[in-house]
Amino acid sequence: MSLKLTKSANRPLRHIGVVGLFFALMVLLTWPMARSMGSAIPGDSFDGWQNYWNLWWVRSALLDLHTHPYFTSALYHPTGVSLWFQTINIFNGLIALPVQLAGNLYWAYNFVVMFSFVAAGYGATLLAVHVLHQAGARDTRAVWLSAVLAGFVFTFSPFHLAHLLGHMQVFSLEFVPFYIFYLLQAVPPQRAGFRWRKAGMAAFFLILAGLCDWYFVLYLGLFTLLYVIWLAVRRQFALDHLKALALIAVVFLVVTAPLLAPMVSESIRYDFMRPPPGQVTDLSADVLGFVLPSGQHSLWGEWAAQARANLPASPSENTLYAGFAVLALALIGLIKRRLRLGFFALAAVVFAIFALGPVLHIGGQIVTLPGGRALPMPYALLLKLPFIEIARTVARYDLIVMLCLGILAAGGIYSLIVFSKRNWLAVLLALAVVIEFLPIPYPISPPDTPAWYQTLATEPGDQAILNLPMNWDRPGYLLYQTVHGKPLTAGYISRDDPRTLPPRIPIVSDLRHNGPDINSVDPALYAPTIFEFLDIGWVVADRYKMPEGDERILADGMTSAIFAGHPPLYEDDRLSVYKTWPPETRLAFIELGFDWGPYQPDPARAVLESASFTIHSPDANPRRLTIQPASDNAVAFQLEDSEGRVLGASDGAALQIDLALNSGENRFTLRAAGPGLSITALKLDD
């Protein structure tokens, strides 16, 4: 006797089967990650370590320090640094906590990968099932088979796999399809009353998406706006729809306000989170990025990587390959016209245009109009809206493109199976999609942590480590910190924060800029004072991270001068570790404010109307300050104390002034009479 499952009994098995399928695909297409779950992470040994550190820091902040994780003194010690604009992806930090406690950080990181990929595939499949049914598909079995392809396209797209190289906040895109799934039910094309439960679920998944990456909120907000316009043009937008959208917005804003309010406050008070001029353009998509295969491809990846060499940004950002089989299926779904998928075609086009950024790139070159002006794109208008300019990596709009193309491709598969009866062509194109996206073997990043850091973990005290080189921040130092647990003088964060001390304190500033700054001092004489001020206990020079050249020459020269007569605490082929000591006599030095212009070699710093500095004095003895403008300077300036009193003035020549100082911090402001003032030296004499 045969056993026939009822429709209700079959439904849970179908969902379980889809989840199981995506788990198996995740294991296969990220191989050999599954073989190294407890000892390595997928990626390219760069940004992945930052997100690895994020998981560690969330645990440390919540369970060890009993504080929130959006400020840390573990980096940029002793003042610490704000993490409101860090890629902290707090949702992942929280769900990985039990795994981290039960296993280790590698298991926790890879658990996030597994969860994200499986949930993304399942969510995109559910969304495609809903869209296909709403579009007129009636064969349930064919709908689910087709929807699985949509899940595959979204989850295993070259875009997604490229961000698996290290961008946890981006590859955790699993809640995007769930939000749209509930949005379409809360705001359906037909009048269906106020669906507050569906709106509540949409708000819930929008919150979860934001807790992975705030970029997702921007994308989904624009997607929602486009959907509302689509309904309004078709005269399908009703008052109940407005109520649902209002509920989504209110719930989202109320729940996320404790996180959004500090971010808005910082963005109003400071502009460091805004990308410098040209960076948004550099991180925009190139037209060829959509049609050139991924450099990770198993068969033709080497050729594709060479073909992509001229595209802007890094491979993790410019890998946007849509797949010719996907595009063919999407066209089939649209041409047949049996399914109503026009909105998703529109959304794919609009978000692809957004991904191209403010100007058009083709083959790594900006397209120009007659006269040399860059050809503007619609995204240039979006940049005029508040806070939009903070989102610097414009190419990531491709996330919505791939989701929409996946749904359109599902429509194409359904049309071939049900309407055209060409099952063989459907199977062939589905296999072509898999082959076009094939990334195995996927790169794996084992740790390169030197064994000495295990020894450091046992050392008493919580003084900081000054890692060399430090002319830019290496994520590897974050990996090492998860082993030794000591604070760092600097650290790799998502947005450089000018309020941190390393770019503004003598000696450390020289190491940071790979050359002397305007407040430079004799490193051999001042190092003990500076190291005590920054609470630096160890200086670690890592030769593996210092290629031959200026940075090694500078670092070797300064460490030789500072530690002359003090042999390394530890040394091997890779590391030279030095222990600091307290100063016999503390010396006065100058800390630059963060309102100076950027560091310029030679050195020089611009004064933009005014610039502040602090003299740290160990006593109340007077000292002579010399302010040296650039040789071609013709701008008058004056020196003011913390109460605005003028202490001295110059018509553009060097200014020497004897200052009465207090013991401790003495704040001053240099005020320019006009634009163009550039200072080359601030020097103190006893």
Give 191-226 as a 3 state SS string.
Answer: CCCCCHHHHHHHHHHHHHHHHHCHHHHHHHHHHHHH
Q: How far is CA 625 from the centre of its chain?
A: 42
Asked whether the predicted pLDDT for residue 292 surpasses 60, the reply is: yes
Give per-residue pLDDT as tens, 77-111.
999 999 999 999 999 999 999 999 999 999 999 99
In angstroms, the CA 596 to CA 607 distance is 6
In angstroms, the CA 646 to CA 671 distance is 10
Q: Is 638 strand, coil or helix? A: strand
Give per-residue pLDDT as tens, 585-629.
999 999 999 999 999 999 999 998 999 999 999 999 999 999 999
Range 518-522 contact pairs with CB under 8 angstroms and sequence separation of 24 or more: 518/592, 518/603, 518/604, 518/605, 518/679, 518/680, 518/681, 518/682, 519/589, 519/590, 519/591, 519/592, 519/613, 519/682, 520/603, 520/681, 521/587, 521/589
390 band by pLDDT with thresholds 50, 70 and 90:
confident
Residue 626's alpha-carbon distances to 215, 428, 472, 639, 659, in angstroms, are 47, 77, 30, 11, 10
pLDDT of residue 10: 57
- Positive or negative torsion for Cα 492, 496, 500, 506: positive
State mean pLDDT over 397-417. Answer: 96
pLDDT of residue 560: 94
How many CB atoms are closer than 10 A to CB 376?
12
Give per-residue pLDDT as tens, 493-534.
998 898 999 999 999 999 999 999 999 999 999 999 999 999
One-letter amino acid for residue 203 of the chain: A
Asked whether the predicted pLDDT for residue 3 surpasses 70, the reply is: no
* Of 190, 175, 142, 124, residue with least CA distance to 333: 142
Please name the residues in contact with 297: beta carbons below 8 A apart, sequence gap of 6 or more: 158, 304, 436, 438, 439
222 or 421: which leads in pLDDT: 222
Give per-residue pLDDT as tens, 17-30.
999 999 999 999 99
Range 381-389 contact pairs with CB under 8 angstroms and sequence separation of 24 or more: 382/354, 383/280, 383/358, 387/264, 387/267, 388/218, 389/274, 389/275, 389/280
Which DSSP symbol is given to 359?
B
pLDDT of residue 313: 83
Note the pTM of the prediction, 2 decimals.
0.94
386 band by pLDDT with thresholds 50, 70 and 90:
confident
* Of 304, 303, 300, residue with least CA distance to 320: 304
In angstroms, the CA 423 to CA 113 distance is 33
Is there a contact between 137 and 143 (Cβ–Cβ < 8 Å)?
yes
In angstroms, the CA 465 to CA 138 distance is 64
In angstroms, the CA 524 to CA 558 distance is 8
In angstroms, the CA 457 to CA 236 distance is 63
411 or 6: which leads in pLDDT: 411
Give per-residue pLDDT as tens, 208-240.
999 999 999 999 999 999 999 999 999 999 999
Q: Is 313 strand, coil or helix? A: coil
Is there a contact between 53 and 473 (Cβ–Cβ < 8 Å)?
no
Asked whether the predicted pLDDT for residue 355 surpasses 90, the reply is: yes
Q: How far is CA 533 from the centre of its chain?
A: 31
359 band by pLDDT with thresholds 50, 70 and 90:
very high
Asked whether the predicted pLDDT for residue 484 surpasses 50, the reply is: yes
Asked whether the predicted pLDDT for residue 264 surpasses 80, the reply is: yes
One-letter amino acid for residue 356 of the chain: L
pLDDT of residue 552: 87
Residue 152's alpha-carbon distances to 12, 155, 160, 298, 392, in angstroms, are 20, 5, 11, 17, 28
In angstroms, the CA 267 to CA 391 distance is 12
Give per-residue pLDDT as tens, 449-460.
999 999 999 999
pLDDT of residue 276: 79
One-letter amino acid for residue 522 of the chain: D
Q: Is 541 strand, coil or helix? A: strand
Is there a contact between 68 and 27 (Cβ–Cβ < 8 Å)?
no
Asked whether the predicted pLDDT for residue 661 surpasses 80, the reply is: yes
pLDDT of residue 80: 96
In angstroms, the CA 663 to CA 588 distance is 10
Give per-residue pLDDT as tens, 144-186.
999 999 999 999 999 999 999 999 999 999 999 999 999 999 9
316 or 107: which leads in pLDDT: 107
% residues pLDDT > 90 (the chain): 86
pLDDT of residue 5: 38
- Please provide residue 112's backbone torsions phi and psi, each rounded to the nearest 5 degrees: -60, -40
Q: How far is CA 362 from the centre of its chain?
A: 25
Please name the residues in contact with 115: beta carbons below 8 A apart, sequence gap of 6 or more: 95, 174
Rounded mean pLDDT of the chain? 94
In angstroms, the CA 577 to CA 587 distance is 25
Q: Is 497 strand, coil or helix? A: coil
State mean pLDDT over 362-390. Answer: 90
In angstroms, the CA 180 to CA 128 distance is 10
- Please provide residue 215's backbone torsions phi and psi, each rounded to the nearest 5 degrees: -55, -40
Which DSSP symbol is given to 376?
B
State mean pLDDT over 563-575. Answer: 95
- Scored b (16 or more CB within 10 A) or e, 71-105 reads ebebbbbeeebbbbbbbbbbbbbebbbebbeeeeb
pLDDT of residue 8: 44
- Provide the β-strand partners of residue 592: 613
Q: Is 655 strand, coil or helix? A: strand
Asked whether the predicted pLDDT for residue 4 surpasses 70, the reply is: no
pLDDT of residue 226: 98
Q: Is 310 strand, coil or helix? A: coil
Is there a contact between 358 and 422 (Cβ–Cβ < 8 Å)?
no
